[in-house]
Structure 1
């Protein structure tokens, strides 16, 4: 399953980019191993790095030419072995998992002893490794034409077109009637109701108690009030 999906993805999206970057392609199963060879025509190289990923995302190992010292990185301990000189180095990675899928690069390094600058050069032998599980492979999906047919229940009776048209006309007529009544109310009824409210009786004048007390001190009385003799 994973193998088939990966093949499809490589074919449709990035197969051209991967195959251009890699000089070889290996298809292996989980738990197995793969072997690749890194080489260079440059002489007296100090060491070689092995990276995995299109952008060299992860470092696999560093092989130091002096003393033939191999340093495996985390995740590759006890899984990597080498054979031969640094300029013709054969590398084997065992006990593979799906996460080991990627492009493996060889990068050679040499230090200039006078300037102490480190020069890096890509070596030959970059390999695309695709790790597959043991699930059965399925072919890549292909586009097929599908014809859709209307579905109806066994006892379903379709309404005649004439009845449907009548129902639609009744609904539209009802909506138009409601809309017309709302317009008539806003244009004709609402202004008259407002006018009647504005022409209502006047509000009687009310004097607070403080006003009466002040008038009593000044011997004045509110309008329309008679004083008994």
Structure 2
């Protein structure tokens, strides 16, 4: 995904999470290989379950936890560590990769014995963005500087092509307009009736 596209997705997801919980919504930028910490907090100490989920719909679970312990998904095994006392805990995710880029949610659940349903409560959201470390270019310049120069060159070329196209189109339009509205200069033969009229006058005499 390009840097521009990644930033657009980040802004979109941040806007969604900010609307859901503006006090705890945030965007966290990390580089590949680093560690991030997600804080899960709730004032309801009777919450029975806690799921650390990711994705806009909170359907992709990362860690399942209750008062007895926690169980990470295989993709996060040996990379997730828990700190604190349930239900207020911190999840640390190590060795981040670009595949970990996503919004993360702390979803608390409590079983309602009256309705036999699970009441869910989200305890905040974090949008994690992991950038791959691309290093430097072959000539020793930073990759970001090289990308900027390439982008500038492409922009100049595209602008020149567009300008040339506009000039060519304008020239053709002027040419066609001039040919269309140019008055036709056809020679017209004007009948000369002077001789005929003179002969008629002569015969009458």
- TM > 0.5: yes
> What's the counterpart of residue 106 of structure 1?
106
CA deviation string 1:46-84 (max 9, x = no partner): 01101111122421001112x2x0111120111111111
Change (3 A) 1:15 1:134: closer
Correspondence 1:14-29 to 2 at 5 A: 14-22=9-17, 23-29=25-31
> What's the counterpart of residue 52 of structure 1?
54
For residues 15 and 27 of structure 1, the distance between their equivalents in structure 2, rounded to whole angstroms, comes to 10
TM-score by length of 2: 0.61
Task: Structure 1: state its 5+ residue gaps.
Answer: 151-229
Query: Is the Cα–Cα contact under 8 Å of residues 51 and 57 in structure 1 kept in the other structure?
Result: yes
Q: Give 1:141 shift.
A: 5.0
For residues 33 and 9 of structure 2, the distance between their equivalents in structure 1, rounded to whole angstroms, comes to 26
Q: Which of these residues, 143, 146, 149, is aligned with residue 159 of structure 2?
A: 146
Query: Is the Cα–Cα contact under 8 Å of residues 42 and 88 in structure 2 kept in the other structure?
Result: yes
Matched, 1:9 2:5: yes
> What's the counterpart of residue 130 of structure 1?
129
Q: Considering only CA atoms, is the larger Rg found in Structure 1 or Structure 2? A: 1
- When the two chains are superposed, the root-mean-square deviation of aligned CA atoms in Å is 2.5
Please give the secondary structure, in 2, of the residue aligned with 1:75: helix
Query: Is the Cα–Cα contact under 8 Å of residues 47 and 86 in structure 1 kept in the other structure?
Result: no
For residues 21 and 44 of structure 1, the distance between their equivalents in structure 2, rounded to whole angstroms, comes to 28
Q: Which of these residues, 57, 61, 64, is aligned with residue 63 of structure 2?
A: 61
TM-score by length of 1: 0.55
For residues 120 and 70 of structure 1, the distance between their equivalents in structure 2, rounded to whole angstroms, comes to 18
Query: Is the Cα–Cα contact under 8 Å of residues 18 and 128 in structure 1 kept in the other structure?
Result: yes
Query: Is the Cα–Cα contact under 8 Å of residues 37 and 90 in structure 2 kept in the other structure?
Result: yes
Please give the secondary structure, in 2, of the residue aligned with 1:78: coil
Please give the secondary structure, in 2, of the residue aligned with 1:129: strand
Please give the secondary structure, in 2, of the residue aligned with 1:45: coil
Task: Structure 2: state its 5+ residue gaps.
Answer: 18-24, 135-142, 165-205
Q: Give 1:115 shift.
A: 4.2
For residues 90 and 111 of structure 1, the distance between their equivalents in structure 2, rounded to whole angstroms, comes to 23
For residues 15 and 80 of structure 1, the distance between their equivalents in structure 2, rounded to whole angstroms, comes to 23
For residues 6 and 130 of structure 2, the distance between their equivalents in structure 1, rounded to whole angstroms, comes to 13
